[in-house]
C-alpha cells in the first residue's frame, strides 16, 4: 500500500461493504461476529495508513483522528499507537511522540525503538543513536525501517558521511531491496546520485521512482522538477507541476502551485503566475514567501500598487525579511514615489547596513529626487540629495567595488550639478573617493569643477571594469564636455572637448544604431570649441535615421541651422520636433527664437508656452524680456494688446517666477538681474527690486574691474544705467541720502538721472542743492512737457522755501501747454487762501480722467477753505457725476468723520467707496484705470479705501461683531483693522487703526464687565507705532492712546512713568497724570480730594491747555458732580474756538449734556438756570448745523421746559431722522428719543400714541423692558 489516494478509495469501499453486511444481517451464518469486527479494525487501520501516506495537513489530521480512536480500543491499541506515532513524526510533533512512547506499552516494538533512536539523534546524542540504529539494523536484517533510518541519519551527519559508500549508499540500497515501494528510500538515493555520485541520470530515475511511489511527497516532486530544469526540460517540469495541481483539491499542494508560479514568472507570464501564487496562499495564507512571490508576480504584470501590498503583507508576517522591505522600496521607486522609496530603503539598511542592492536603490532614488528638484528650480535641495546619494554609493563601493553600475551612478551624481552655478555647488564627499590618504570617516567639500573631475574618475573606473558598454563611454563623453565648459582658458577647454568627441566616437563604434550617442556627438561637434558643422549635421541626421521620433535631434539640428542663419531650415526642423513631442520645450524655444529673428510678436506667446512646459533659462529670460518690452512700449495700458498679453495672462507674476529661478542659477548675469528688478518693481516689491538692481551694479563693476580698457569703456554706459536703476529704487524705499550718493557716482548722467538726484536731495531736505540740480536738468530737456514738469518740481521747492511769488512766476510760461502747471497754480491759490484764478479745464486737448479727478479735488479743497457746507455739496455732486470714482466717497466719509456729523452716512460712504475700488463687475471702468496704475499706487489706493472703512466702522460704534444690538450686519472694525494690517504691514497708519480698534474693544469689555484680552495688545501696538512712525502727529496720537489705555486699565504708576519719559512738549501730559491720580484716589477712598478737583478745573479753564485736555478735564468734572465748572469750561472753549472749527458742534452738544444732567439733579432754585443753559447750548449747536443729535437735544430741552407739544414734535423728528440708521439698525440716540417721547405721552396718559410708539420701536430693548414693567 504505497498509493495513498487509491488505497483510501479502496478501503472506504470495503468499509461500506462491511456496513451493508452489518445492517442487512445477510450471510451471518457464513461470517461470524468476531471476524467481522476484526475486518473492520483492519480496514480502519488501512484507512489511517492511507491518510498518512498523502502528506497534506488535512489527510494527516484525519489519520491522527483515526489512530487516536483505535488506540482507545484495548485489543487494538498497540498497532494504532504505532500508527499514531508515525503520523506525529510526519507532523514534526516530537514532544508528543515522546509522551506517547513514555506512556504506552509499545516501547519494545521495533518501530518504536527506531523512532526513539531518531529522537535521540535529533536531541544531539548522535553517536549513541547512530551506533544503536546500526546495531538494530544488523539484528533485524529483514526490516526496512532500521536500514533506511540508519542511512537517513548518516546522510544528515554531513558531507564526509555522505561520501562513505559503505554507510549511506549501502543502507539506502539495502532498504530499497527490502521494500521496493518505499518512496522515501528512492528519494535519498536520488539525493546521493545528484550530490555525491554526480550521476544526474540515475538521480532523475530515483526521483521519478520516488514520486511515482509517493505522489504526495513534496520533496520528491520538487527534486524531480529541479532535475528536469537542470537538464533543460522546462516543459517537463511545468507538466509535472500542472499534473499535480490539476488533481489537487483547493488549499492543497502548495509546493506545486508555488513552483508552477515561479516557472510562469520565469517565462514572464505574470497573469498565470499570480493565479498559481494565489492558489498556494489558499493552502497557507501565512507563508510570507508565497506573499513575496505574489508580489513578484504583480510586478511582472505591471500591477505595482498590488505588488507593494503583497510585499507589505509579507513584511507583516516576517518583519526580519530584508527582501520584502527592499521590494517595497523598489516598487515605490518604479512608481516614481522617490521620497517614500528613500524612507523604505532606509528601513532596509537598518536591518542590514551594508546591503548593496538597498544602497544602490537608495542612491538612485536620491539621484531621481535631485533631478526633480533641479527641474523645479529647488537647487539647494538638489545639492542635499546629491550629497546623500554619493554617501550611499561610497558605502556600496566599499562593499562591492567591482560593480561598474555603482561607479556609473557615482559619475551621474557628479554630472547632475552641471546646471547649477559654481557658487551654489558645495557638496560633501567622503574623503575615500577624492583623497585616498585621508580617513574613511572624513569628508571633503568639493566645488563644481572638482565634482566634475571626480565624475571623470568614476566613469573611468567603471570603464576599467566593463569597457564594452557604450552607455559608459557616452557618460564619460558628456562629463568631459561639461568639464570643458568649466575651463576659462580656451585651449584647455578645446582639448577637453576634443577628448569628449573621441570618447563619443568610441561609444558609437560599440553601438552604431544608438540615436542618443549620435545626438550627443552632434552637440559636442557643434559647440564653440570645435564648430565642425559638417560632422554635427551628419551626427544629427544619423540620430534621426536611428530613431525617426527623435525630438532632441530635430531640435538640436534646428538650433544649428539657426546659428548658421538658415532660418527656413531651422523653422522646419523645429516644426518636426513640435509634431513629434508637443510637450518638448526646446522646440518651442527654437520657434520663439525664429519668430524673434523675423521680428514677429508671436515670439512672446511661444516663449510663454515654453515656460509652461518646463523650467528652462532661455524660455524664462526670453519671455521676461518680451514682457518688459511690452510694458515699456504701452503707455496706454487699457489697450487690448496689453490687457490680453500682460493682465489676462498674469505675465508679470510669471516672468517674476522665471527670472527668480534664472538669477539664482546665473547670479553674474547683469542683464537678467536688471530685468528681474524691473519686474519686481512692477509688482511693487521695491525692496527686492532694489536688491536685484544692486546685484546687477556689482556684477558690472566686477566685470569693469577685471577687463581691459576697451572692454571697460563699453561696459561704462551699462554700469551708469545700473547705478541709475539702483539709486531710483533706493530713493523709492526712503533712503534718500544714499540714493543721492549713488546718483553722484554716475559718470555720464542723463536728464532722468539729474531729476532723480534732485528728488533725492529734495527728500533729504537739501532744497538748495535740489533746486540747483533741477536747473542743470533744464539744459538737457528734449520736450516742452519735460520742461513743464521740471518747472513744477522747482515750484514745489520754492513753496517749501516760502517763496510763493517766485513759484508762480516759474509756472506762468507753461500754463497753456501743461495741465500739471495749471493744477499746481490752482493749488498755490488754495494755499494762499485766494479764489482759483486759473481755468483748470483750459487747454488744447480734452483732459484725461486723471486730470478731471485732480481738477475736482482742487475745487473741493478751494471750497473747504471758505464754506464747508459748500464743499460737502460739491463732493456729493461729484459722487453723482462719477459714480464709480471711489475717492469722492472716501473723501466725503472722511469729512463727515471730522465733523462728527451723520456718522452712519460716513460708514455708508466708506463701504461704498471700498466696494467701488474692489468690485470687478460693477466697476469695470475703474478697474481699467487700475490696470494703468503702477503697483505702488494701487497698493496705496487700496490702503486708503480699507483704512476709511475701518475708521468709519470704529466711529460708528461697530467695534466688533455682536458688541451691541446696533451691530448685527456682520461689520466689524477690529476685523477690518486686522485685514488692513495684513494687507499693508509696512504702514504705521494701519497699525494705529488696529490699536484704536483694540482700545475700543477693551473699553467695551470693561463696560460689559467681560474679560479684557486686548488691553496689553493695545499698548504694545501704540509703542510699535511710536517706534516706527515718521509722522510727529501719529506719534503724539499713539502716546495719547497709550495714556488712555493705561488709565482705563488702572495702571496708574505706569502713567506716571510714561509722563516722566516724555521729553517733548506734550500738552496732554498734565491731564493724563491728573486723571490717573484722581482714579487712584477714588479707588482707594471712594472720593476725590479738592486739590485734585482744582487741578482738573485749572486744566479745563487754562488757555494753554489743548482742546483734547479741556474736553477730558470737563468730562471728569462732570463725572464727579462739578457741573458748573464743567459747563463753564466747555462754554469758554466754545466761545474761544474759531467759526471754522470742526469741533464747535461737538462742544455745544457736550455743554448741553452737562447742563441736562445737572438739571436732572438740580434743586428747584437752580433748575431754571440749568434749563436756560441747555437752551443756549442747543441754540449754539443749531447755529453750526442741524442734525439728528441737535434735534434730540432741542426735544430734551423742551421736555425740561414742560413744553409738551414742542417736545413731542422735536422728539418725533429725531425719532424719524435717517441719520440714526446704519444699515437699517437702531442706534442709542433713537432709543433715547423714543424713551423720552414715551415718558411725555405717559405723563399725558395718551394710550393710543403710546401703542403707536411701541409698535414703531418694536426693536428697542429699552422700551420693551418699560412696557413689561408697566403691564
Report pLDDT digits (tens) over 518-528. 999 999 999 99
List the one residue out of 425, 388, 426 whose CA is nearest residue 410.
388
Predicted confidence (pLDDT) per residue in 1082-1102, tens digit:
665 666 767 777 777 777 777
User: Confidence band (pLDDT; 50, 70, 90) for 901?
Assistant: low
DSSP one-letter code for 646 = I
Can you tell me the distance from the alpha carbon of 267 to that of 280, in angstroms, rounded to the nearest whole number?
19
- Using H for helix, E for strand and C for coil, what is the string for 1208-1252? HHHHHHHHCCHHHCECCECCHHHHHHHHHHHHHHHHCCCHHHHHH
- More confidently predicted of 782 and 921: 782
- The angle that helices 886-899 and 903-918 make with each other, rounded to 10 degrees, is 160
- 415 and 484: one domain? no
* Position 387 confidence tier, pLDDT thresholds 50, 70, 90: very high
Other C-beta atoms lying within 10 Å of the C-beta of residue 1072: 24
* Shared-domain flag, residues 381 and 506: no
- φ/ψ (deg, to 5) at 964: -160, 170
- Asked if pLDDT for residue 303 goes beyond 50, the answer is yes
Tell me what pLDDT residue 923 has. 43
What confidence tens digit (pLDDT) does each residue in 238-255 have? 888 888 888 777 777 888
Round to whole Å and give the CA distance between 789 and 796.
11
Q: Which three cell numbers stand for residue 698?
A: 556689482
884 with 936, same domain: the answer is yes
- The phi and psi torsions of 933 (rounded to 5 degrees) equal -80, 155
> 372 or 1091: which carries more pLDDT confidence?
372
Comparison of pLDDT for 606 and 93, the residue scoring more: 606
pLDDT at 816: 62
pLDDT at 1215: 76
Which helix (H) or strand (E) segment holds residue 1180: the answer is helix 1164-1184
What does the pLDDT read at residue 582? 94
pLDDT at 919 (0 to 100):
64
The Cα 504–Cα 500 span in angstroms is: 6
State the pLDDT at residue 964.
Answer: 44
Residues 971 and 986 in one domain: yes
- Are 117 and 136 contacting, i.e. CB atoms less than 8 angstroms apart? yes
Q: Given 274, 300, 316, which residue is the final one in a domain?
A: 316
288: domain range?
233-316
| Contact between 790 and 777 (Cβ < 8 Å) | yes
3-class DSSP state of 443: strand
Number of domains into which the chain is organized: 5
Enter the C-alpha cell of residue 974. Answer: 477690529
Both 426 and 480 in one domain: the answer is no
Quick one: 487 and 390 in the same domain? no
Average pLDDT over residues 618-635: 91
Model pLDDT, residue 166: 65
pLDDT of residue 647: 85
| Torsion-angle region of 1245 (φ positive above 0: left; ψ -120 to 50: alpha; else: beta) | left
For residue 463, being part of any structural domain is answered with yes
CATH number of domain containing 476? 1.25.40.10
C-beta of residue 757 within 8 angstroms of C-beta of residue 728 = no
- Can you give the pLDDT at residue 778? 86
- Phi, psi (degrees; rounded to nearest 5) at 429: -125, 135
Per mean pLDDT, which range of 433-437, 612-616, 753-757 is the poorest?
A: 433-437
Asked whether residue 486 is assigned to any structural domain, the reply reads: yes
Residues 1193-1238 have pLDDT tens digits of 888 888 888 888 888 888 888 877 755 544 334 456 777 888 788 8
1060 occurs within a structural domain: no
Handedness of CA 991, 996, 997, 1002 (dihedral sign): positive
pLDDT in tens, 835-874: 555 445 444 444 445 556 666 666 666 555 556 667 777 7
Q: Which of 226-235, 674-683, 729-738, 1222-1231 has the least mean pLDDT?
A: 1222-1231
**Is 441 in the same domain as 504?**
no
Q: Is residue 523 part of a domain?
A: yes
Q: What is the pTM of this model?
A: 0.68
Query: What number is the average pLDDT over the span 928-940?
Result: 55
Whether 1001 is in a domain gets the answer yes
Give the pLDDT band (50/70/90) at residue 984.
confident
Q: Which residues are paired to 429 by β-bridges?
A: 444
More confident residue, 270 or 37: 270
Any domain includes 906: yes
Q: Residue 158 CB: number of other CB atoms within 10 A?
A: 9
Same domain, 330 and 408: yes
Same domain, 982 and 920: no
Asked whether residue 756 carries a pLDDT value surpassing 70, the answer given is: yes
What's the pLDDT score for residue 457? 93
Same structural domain for residues 324 and 461? yes
Beta bridge partners of 428: 445
**Structure confidence at residue 817 as a pLDDT band (50, 70, 90):** low
Is the same domain home to 986 and 901? no
- Same domain membership, residue 419 and residue 490: no
Kindly state the helix (H) or strand (E) to which residue 446 belongs, with its residue range.
Answer: strand 443-446
Q: Which of 822, 777, 824, 828 is CA-nearest to residue 805?
A: 828
Task: Answer yes or no: is 270 within a domain.
Answer: yes
- In this prediction, residue 846 carries a pLDDT of 43
Does residue 1185 sit in helix, strand or coil? coil
Which residues does residue 444 pair with via DSSP β-bridges, in sequence order? 429
Q: Which of 507-511, 894-898, 970-974 has the highest mean pLDDT?
A: 507-511
pLDDT at 1001: 83
| Span of 570-579, 637-646, 1067-1076 with lowest mean pLDDT | 1067-1076
Check if the beta carbon of residue 476 is closer than 8 Å to that of residue 459.
Answer: yes
pLDDT for position 383: 92
Higher-pLDDT residue of 969, 79? 79
- If pLDDT is split at 50, 70 and 90, which confidence band does 475 have? very high
Residue 852 lies in a domain: no
* Average pLDDT score over the chain: 81
pLDDT tier at 995 (50, 70, 90 boundaries)?
A: confident
Task: Specify the pLDDT at position 508.
Answer: 96
Distances (CA, A) of 489 to 484, 492, 523, 568, 734: 9, 6, 20, 35, 45
1202 versus 335: the higher-pLDDT residue is 335
> Exposure of 565 by Cβ count < 10 A (0-12 exposed, 13-18 middle, 19+ buried)?
exposed
Which pLDDT score, from 0 to 100, does residue 1024 have? Answer: 84
Of the residues 936, 952, 968, which one is the last residue of a structural domain?
A: 952
Which range has the worst mean pLDDT, 98-107, 153-162, 899-908?
Answer: 899-908
Q: Looking at 316, 345, 378, which one is the last position of a domain?
A: 316
Least confident stretch, 448-457, 852-861, 1024-1033: 852-861
Which has the higher per-residue pLDDT, 1023 or 542?
A: 542
Amino acid at each position: 500500500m504505497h498509493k495513498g489516494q487509491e488505497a483510501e478509495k479502496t478501503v472506504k469501499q470495503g468499509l461500506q461493504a462491511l456496513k451493508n453486511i452489518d445492517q442487512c444481517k445477510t450471510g451471518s451464518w457464513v461470517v461470524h461476529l468476531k471476524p467481522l469486527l476484526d475486518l473492520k479494525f483492519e480496514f480502519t487501520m488501512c484507512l489511517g495508513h492511507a491518510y498518512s501516506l498523502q502528506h497534506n495537513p488535512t489527510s494527516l489530521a484525519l489519520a491522527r483522528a483515526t489512530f487516536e480512536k483505535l488506540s482507545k480500543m484495548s485489543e487494538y491499541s498497540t498497532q494504532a499507537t504505532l500508527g499514531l506515532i508515525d503520523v506525529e513524526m510526519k507532523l514534526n510533533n516530537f514532544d508528543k511522540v515522546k509522551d506517547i512512547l513514555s506512556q504506552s506499552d509499545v516501547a519494545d516494538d521495533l518501530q518504536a525503538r527506531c523512532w526513539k533512536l531518531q529522537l535521540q539523534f535529533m536531541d544531539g546524542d548522535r553517536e549513541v543513536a547512530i551506533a544503536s540504529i546500526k546495531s538494530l539494523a544488523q539484528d533485524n536484517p529483514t526490516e526496512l525501517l532500521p536500514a533506511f533510518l540508519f542511512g537517513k541519519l548518516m546522510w544528515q551527519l554531513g558531507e564526509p558521511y555522505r561520501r562513505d559508500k559503505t554507510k549511506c549508499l549501502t543502507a539506502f540500497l539495502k532498504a530499497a531491496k527490502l521494500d521496493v515501494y518505499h518512496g522515501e528510500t528512492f528519494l535519498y538515493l536520488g539525493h546521493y546520485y545528484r550530490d555525491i555520485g554526480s550521476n544526474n541520470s540515475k538521480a532523475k530515475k530515483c526521483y521519478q521512482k520516488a514520486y511515482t511511489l509517493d505522489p504526495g511527497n513534496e520533496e520528491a516532486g520538487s527534486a524531480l522538477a529541479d532535475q528536469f530544469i537542470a537538464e533543460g526540460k522546462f516543459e517537463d517540469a511545468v507538466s509535472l507541476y500542472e499534473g499535480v495541481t490539476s488533481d489537487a483539491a483547493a488549499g492543497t499542494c502548495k509546493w506545486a502551485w508555488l513552483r508552477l508560479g515561479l516557472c510562469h514568472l520565469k517565462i514572464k507570464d505574470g497573469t498565470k503566475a499570480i493565479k498559481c501564487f494565489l492558489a498556494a496562499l489558499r493552502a497557507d495564507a501565512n507563508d510570507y514567501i508565497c506573499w513575496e512571490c505574489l508580489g513578484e508576480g504583480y510586478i511582472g504584470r505591471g500591477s505595482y500598487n498590488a505588488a507593494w501590498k503583497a510585499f507589505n503583507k509579507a513584511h507583516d508576517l516576517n518583519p526580519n525579511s530584508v527582501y520584502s522591505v527592499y521590494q517595497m522600496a523598489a516598487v515605490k521607486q518604479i512608481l516614481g514615489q522617490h521620497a517614500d522609496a528613500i524612507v523604505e530603503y532606509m528601513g532596509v539598511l537598518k536591518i542590514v547596513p551594508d546591503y548593496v542592492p538597498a544602497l544602490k536603490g537608495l542612491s538612485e532614488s536620491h539621484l531621481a529626487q535631485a533631478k526633480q528638484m533641479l527641474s523645479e528650480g529647488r537647487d539647494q535641495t538638489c545639492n542635499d540629495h546629491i550629497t546623500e546619494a554619493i554617501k550611499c554609493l561610497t558605502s556600496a563601493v566599499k562593499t562591492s567595488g567591482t560593480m561598474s553600475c555603482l561607479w556609473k551612478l557615482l559619475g551621474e551624481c557628479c554630472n547632475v550639478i552641471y546646471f547649477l552655478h559654481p557658487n551654489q555647488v558645495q557638496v560633501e564627499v567622503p574623503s575615500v573617493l577624492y583623497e585616498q590618504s585621508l580617513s574613511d570617516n572624513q569628508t571633503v567639500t568639493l566645488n563644481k569643477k572638482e565634482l566634475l573631475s571626480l565624475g571623470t574618475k568614476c566613469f573611468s573606473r567603471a570603464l576599467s571594469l566593463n569597457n564594452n558598454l557604450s552607455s559608459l563611454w557616452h557618460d564619460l563623453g558628456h562629463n568631459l564636455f561639461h568639464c570643458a565648459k568649466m575651463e576659462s582658458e580656451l585651449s584647455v577647454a578645446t582639448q577637453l572637448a576634443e577628448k569628449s568627441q573621441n570618447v563619443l566616437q568610441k561609444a558609437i563604434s560599440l553601438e552604431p544604431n544608438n540615436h542618443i550617442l549620435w545626438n550627443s556627438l552632434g552637440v559636442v561637434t557643434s559647440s564653440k570649441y570645435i564648430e565642425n558643422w559638417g560632422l554635427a549635421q551628419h551626427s544629427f541626421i544619423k540620430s534621426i535615421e536611428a530613431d525617426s521620433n527623435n525630438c532632441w535631434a530635430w531640435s538640436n539640428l534646428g538650433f544649428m541651422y539657426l546659428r548658421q542663419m538658415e532660418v527656413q531650415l531651422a523653422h522646419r526642423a523645429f516644426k518636426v520636433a513640435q509634431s513629434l513631442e508637443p510637450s518638448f520645450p526646446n522646440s518651442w524655444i527654437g520657434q520663439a527664437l525664429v519668430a524673434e529673428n523675423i521680428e514677429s510678436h508671436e515670439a512672446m506667446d511661444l516663449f510663454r508656452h515654453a515656460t509652461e512646459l518646463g523650467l528652462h533659462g532661455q524660455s524664462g529670460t526670453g519671455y521676461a524680456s518680451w514682457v518688459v518690452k511690452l510694458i515699456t512700449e504701452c503707455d496706454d495700458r487699457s489697450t487690448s494688446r496689453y490687457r490680453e498679453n500682460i493682465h489676462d495672462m498674469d505675465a508679470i507674476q510669471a516672468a517674476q517666477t522665471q527670472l527668480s529661478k534664472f538669477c539664482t542659477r546665473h547670479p553674474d548675469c547683469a542683464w537678467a538681474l536688471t530685468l528681474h528688478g524691473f519686474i519686481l518693481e512692477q509688482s511693487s516689491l521695491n525692496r527686492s527690486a532694489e536688491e536685484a538692481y544692486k546685484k546687477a551694479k556689482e556684477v558690472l563693476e566686477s566685470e569693469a574691474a577685471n577687463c581691459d580698457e576697451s572692454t571697460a569703456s563699453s561696459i561704462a554706459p551699462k554700469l551708469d544705467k545700473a547705478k541709475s536703476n539702483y539709486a531710483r529704487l533706493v530713493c523709492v524705499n526712503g533712503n534718500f541720502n544714499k540714493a543721492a550718493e549713488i546718483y553722484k557716482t554716475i559718470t555720464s548722467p542723463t536728464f532722468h538721472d539729474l531729476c532723480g538726484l534732485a528728488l533725492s536731495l529734495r527728500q533729504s531736505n537739501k532744497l538748495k542743492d535740489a533746486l540747483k540740480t533741477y536747473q542743470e536738468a533744464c539744459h538737457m530737456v528734449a520736450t516742452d512737457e519735460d520742461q513743464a514738469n521740471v518747472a513744477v518740481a522747482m515750484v514745489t521747492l520754492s513753496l517749501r522755501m516760502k517763496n510763493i511769488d517766485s513759484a508762480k512766476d516759474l509756472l506762468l510760461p507753461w500754463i497753456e501747454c501743461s495741465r500739471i502747471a495749471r493744477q499746481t497754480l490752482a493749488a498755490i491759490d488754495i494755499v494762499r487762501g485766494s479764489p482759483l484764478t486759473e481755468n483748470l479745464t483750459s487747454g488744447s486737448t480734452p483732459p484725461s480722467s486723471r486730470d478731471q479727478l485732480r481738477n475736482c479735488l482742487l475745487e473741493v479743497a478751494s471750497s473747504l477753505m471758505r464754506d464747508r457746507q459748500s464743499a460737502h455739496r460739491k463732493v456729493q455732486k461729484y459722487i453723482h457725476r462719477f459714480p464709480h470714482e471711489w475717492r469722492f466717497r472716501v473723501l466725503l466719509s472722511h469729512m463727515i468723520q471730522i465733523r462728527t456729523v451723520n456718522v452712519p452716512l460716513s460708514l455708508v460712504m466708506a463701504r461704498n467707496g471700498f466696494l467701488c475700488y474692489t468690485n470687478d463687475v460693477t466697476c469695470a471702468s475703474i478697474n481699467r484705470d487700475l490696470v494703468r496704475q503702477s503697483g505702488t499706487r494701487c497698493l496705496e489706493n487700496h490702503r486708503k479705501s480699507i483704512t476709511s472703512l475701518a475708521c468709519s466702522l470704529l466711529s460708528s460704534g461697530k467695534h466688533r461683531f455682536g458688541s451691541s444690538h446696533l451691530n448685527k450686519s456682520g461689520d466689524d472694525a477690529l476685523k477690518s483693522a486686522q485685514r488692513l494690517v495684513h494687507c499693508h504691514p509696512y504702514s504705521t497708519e494701519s497699525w494705529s487703526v488696529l490699536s484704536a480698534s483694540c482700545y475700543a474693544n477693551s473699553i467695551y469689555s470693561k463696560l460689559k464687565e467681560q474679560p479684557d484680552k486686548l488691553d496689553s495688545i493695545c499698548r504694545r501696538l501704540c509703542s510699535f507705532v511710536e517706534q516706527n512712525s515718521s509722522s510727529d502727529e501719529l506719534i503724539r496720537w499713539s502716546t495719547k492712546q497709550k495714556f488712555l489705555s493705561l488709565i482705563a486699565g488702572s495702571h496708574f504708576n505706569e502713567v506716571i512713568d510714561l509722563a516722566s519719559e516724555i521729553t517733548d512738549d506734550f500738552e496732554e501730559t498734565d491731564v493724563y497724570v491728573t486723571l490717573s491720580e484722581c482714579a487712584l484716589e477714588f479707588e482707594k477712598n471712594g472720593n476725590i480730594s479738592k486739590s485734585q478737583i482744582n487741578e482738573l478745573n485749572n486744566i479745563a479753564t487754562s488757555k494753554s491747555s489743548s482742546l483734547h485736555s479741556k474736553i477730558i478735564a470737563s468730562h471728569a468734572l462732570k463725572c464727579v458732580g462739578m457741573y458748573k465748572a464743567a459747563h463753564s469750561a466747555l462754554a469758554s472753549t466754545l466761545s474761544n474756538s474759531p467759526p471754522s472749527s470742526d469741533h464747535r458742534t461737538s462742544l455745544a452738544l457736550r455743554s448741553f449734556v452737562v447742563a441736562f444732567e445737572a438739571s436732572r439733579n438740580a434743586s428747584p432754585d437752580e433748575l431754571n438756570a440749568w434749563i436756560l443753559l441747555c437752551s443756549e447750548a442747543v441754540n449754539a449747536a443749531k447755529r453750526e448745523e442741524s442734525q439728528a443729535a441737535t434735534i434730540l437735544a432741542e426735544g430734551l430741552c423742551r421736555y425740561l421746559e414742560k413744553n409738551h407739544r414742542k417736545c413731542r414734535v422735536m422728539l418725533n423728528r429725531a425719532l424719524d431722522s435717517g441719520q440714526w440708521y446704519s444699515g437699517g439698525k437702531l442706534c442709542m440716540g433713537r432709543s433715547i428719543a423714543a424713551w423720552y417721547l414715551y415718558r411725555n405721552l405717559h405723563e399725558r396718559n395718551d394710550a393710543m400714541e403710546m401703542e403707536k410708539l411701541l409698535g414703531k420701536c418694536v426693536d428697542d430693548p429699552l422700551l420693551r423692558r418699560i412696557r413689561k414693567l408697566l403691564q
